[in-house]
Amino acid sequence: MTLYLDANATEPLRPAARQAVLEALDLLGNPSSIHAEGRAARALLEGARGRIAARFGGRARDLVFTAGATEANALALLGLGAGRRLLAGATEHPAILRAVPGVEILPVLPDGQLDLAALAAALAGGPPALVAVMAANNETGVLHPLAEIAALCRQHGALLHVDAVQLAGRLPLSLGAVGADSLALSAHKLGGPKGVGALLLRPGLEVAAQFPGGGQERGRRGGTEALPAIAGFAAAVEALDPGEADRLAALRDAIEQGAGLPVAGAGAPRLPNTSCLVLPGIAAETQVIALDLAGIRVSSGAACSSGKVGPSGVLLAMGLGAEAGCAIRVSLPWNAPADAADRFLAAHAAMRARLTERRAV
């Protein structure tokens, strides 16, 4: 029996989200049509928009549906960043670092949090900027100090875009409380379907469309909306359970204590479901394959780059050096079983003994 521990790549689909997708597939109309079927589709679309926006502290009119968080990030950086410098931390997702040319990279501290002194110096040293920072790192779970970052941005007239993909659904998240100008969200990272995301804007802020198309999404993003995926997105958001955090944190802590290994980012606040375990001397890919053969699904970094052999850029930026290639990410899903820690630790101990013995021969 397999044990799925790669939730930061994608969460298992929540039953309510699956049901909502199936029901929406049978809805005939196009949300832009004005006949009865079109109006029914529009009602579903706008109802979903309102529920998602409200869940994250925004207004329905300020939420733009996209094909995923990568597009939401790109829409924010390209649509809000015209005429501004783009500043981003060294541990940001490639969806940020590769979205536009000329990104100014800021260092992070050894615990993985953004270096606020470096941010302040960068903001003071040039024209207005757009700062892009993830709320929680996808590899380590490290939470950035968003309140302090937002305060620095306001002080220097900078805009703040937050990639909230990993935080949304796992810990409380509100656009106003964060102090951000925009948030990027992804349905499949909180138990919804793949292929849909959203950009939530601060009230009064406009974003230039990158796909003008037919004027959908208030002219911010052209193309007929993916109604079944959006319905599943809203259902997943409504199914979120605040009690999941404490349960997953207890499992994460049991894994870390039982493994007895260095944990990347352990000195910083982290997501309740994420642990980045370093096993010196054993390549991450080797660990992942060995655990996979034992029925345990983990990863060696971001899903978008885990197929590439090499050390983690996130961990290198945190100063891990050679050990950056020896870390695996264990990310517990919303439906992790009660015995997840015990099962992982048994498989990990067997894997560790076998690989360590092989190295000694």
- Active-site option among 153, 276, 304, 326: 304
Which residue in this structure is represented by tokens 């003071």? 124
- Please tell me the distance from the alpha carbon of residue 207 to that of residue 219, in angstroms, as a whole number: 9
* Residue among 220, 103, 76 nearest 161 (CA): 76
Nearest by Cα to 199 from 119, 145, 132: 132
Asked if 343 and 296 touch (Cβ cutoff 8 Å), the reply is yes
Q: Is 304 among the catalytic positions?
A: yes
Distance CA 145, CA 142 (A): 10
SS3 sequence of the chain: CCEECECCCCCCCCHHHHHHHHHHHCCCCCCCCCCHHHHHHHHHHHHHHHHHHHHCCCCHHHEEEECCHHHHHHHHHHHHCCCCEEEEECCCCHHHHCCCCCCEEECECCCCCECHHHHHHHHHCCCCEEEEEECECCCCCEECCHHHHHHHHHHCCCEEEEECCCCECCECCCHHHHCCCEEEEEHHHCCCCCCCEEEEECCCCCCCCCCCCCCCHHHCCCCCCCHHHHHHHHHHHHCCCCCHHHHHHHHHHHHHHHHCCCECCCCCCECCCEEEEECCCCCHHHHHHHHHHCCEECECCCCCCCCCCCCCHHHHHCCCHHHHHCEEEEECCCCCCCCHHHHHHHHHHHHHHHHHHHHHC
Q: Just list the catalytic residues.
A: 304
